[in-house]
A and B are shown apart, each in its own frame.
Chain A
Amino acid sequence: MPTAKDLQSLGDREVVALAKAGKEAAYRELLRRYERPVFSLIYRMVRDRALAEDLAQETFIKVLNALESYRPEYKFSSWVFKIANNAAIDQLRRREVDTLSLDGAPDARTADEVEATALQAVDRQESPLAELESRELGSQIELAVGKLRPEYRTCILLRHVEGRSYEEIAEVMDLPLGTVKTYIHRARLELRDYLAHLRT
């Protein structure tokens, strides 16, 4: 039976095969390899630590419980990032819907009803990411990335933070290769605009 150290030297496919055979150490190795990249991607997408942790957890539960359906001809990392990205995008869409009800339920008639059904804005503590954003250039780039459209954000994070190839990003996002290249080009242009003040 391979030890945790042996597993570290194996490729994703071999580790997945061991996990399929029920080896707990293989499951933990997959988690160890991907928990940080997946969490980082989700966190930079949703910008809320607790939510990002929940989504990352759901992502891994989905991935590890569905290992039987994983097809080895695809890259394991693409599959994991695809599920993580879908979870983050779904959450962002849901959040967009939630923001519509900030001013109270549409059927509220009296002022009291409006007040009772309105969402209360909570004075949140500064998140670790927000803390980071208050610092130097890296923080300004974090802020600029946060302003990008979710699709652009995923592309730019996978390409330049995670170092994934264009082909893999296309696989993760279910988009043609050309579209991915266009998104990354546009995202760079937008980042340049957001960071234009650095030129002066």
Chain B
Amino acid sequence: MTDKQLDGGDLDALVLRELSCLRTLGPGRGFSDRVMARVRRPQPAPVVLLRRVGAWAIQPRRAVSLAAAYAVCVAVGLRLAVPWVAAHAPAFSFVTSWAAAQVSALLDAAALTIASWVVELGAADAIHSAFTAGPRLWAALAALTIGYTACGYGLRVLLRAPRRKDVSLASAL
């Protein structure tokens, strides 16, 4: 193309065409990760508020003031609450015993339900026969124990950290 005789118009057209054909260049690998590492993404409002409050409260003087204010609040709260609770002791006692009775009844009902399921499914018989099976049960228990111990030892060997400091991660694996 450059060997050709070009007049002004041809040259203009050629330059414009070649400009539009220039390669689009791209940055190196990991460019977007490097950018994203330095971008502050907006956080939800409660998180921002919590962070701000945390940052504000973590200053030593403010932290001491907040702790003192908290202690005063607790003391005042107890000062008001204890006499009130003492004055209403019978009512509290009644409510507590009523709640305990309710919980107890619920637990009883749950235990009865489970027991009836066990009886209906015949699980009780199965457990009973397993315990009376004698040698078979002991053999199964022994096999389980040996298997569990072997798995534990195998895991310990596999996950053992290298003792030498200069061992690379690749060689450790």
Q: Could you list which residues of chain A lie within 8 angstroms of chain B, going by C-beta atoms?
A: 20-22, 24, 27-28, 31-32, 35-37, 39-40, 43-44, 52-53, 56-57, 60-61, 64-65, 68, 128-129, 132, 136-138, 140-142, 145, 156, 160-161, 163, 188, 191-192, 195-196, 198-200
Contacts and interface: CB of A to CB of B under 8 A. Distances in A.
A57 B16 CA distance: 30
A141 B19 contact: yes
* Chain B residues touching A, majority SS: loop
B19 A22 contact: no
Given A27-B39, A192-B12, A198-B11, 15 more contacts: A31-B31, A31-B32, A35-B26, A35-B27, A39-B27, A40-B23, A56-B27, A57-B38, A60-B35, A132-B23, A137-B2, A141-B22, A160-B19, A198-B2, A198-B14
Contact of B41 (A22, A32, A142, A160): A22
B63 to A, nearest CB: 30
Contacts of A191: 15
B132 interface: no
Contact of A64 (B12, B34, B39, B44): B39
Contact of A65 (B7, B18, B19, B39): B39
A61 B18 CA distance: 32
Contact of B32 (A22, A35, A160): A35
Nearest to A189: B12
A61 B38 contact: yes
B41 A198 contact: no
Interface residues of B, number: 34
3 nearest CB pairs, A to B: A160-B19, A64-B39, A31-B32
Given A21-B42, A27-B41, A199-B7, A32 B32 contact: yes
Majority SS of interface residues in chain A? helix
B24 A36 contact: yes
A7 to B, nearest CB: 14
Contacts of A140: 2
B110 to A, nearest CB: 41
Interface in B12-69: 12, 14-16, 18-28, 31-32, 34-36, 38-44
A50 B59 CA distance: 42
A142 to B, nearest CB: 7
Given A22-B41, A22-B43, A138-B21, A61 B8 contact: no
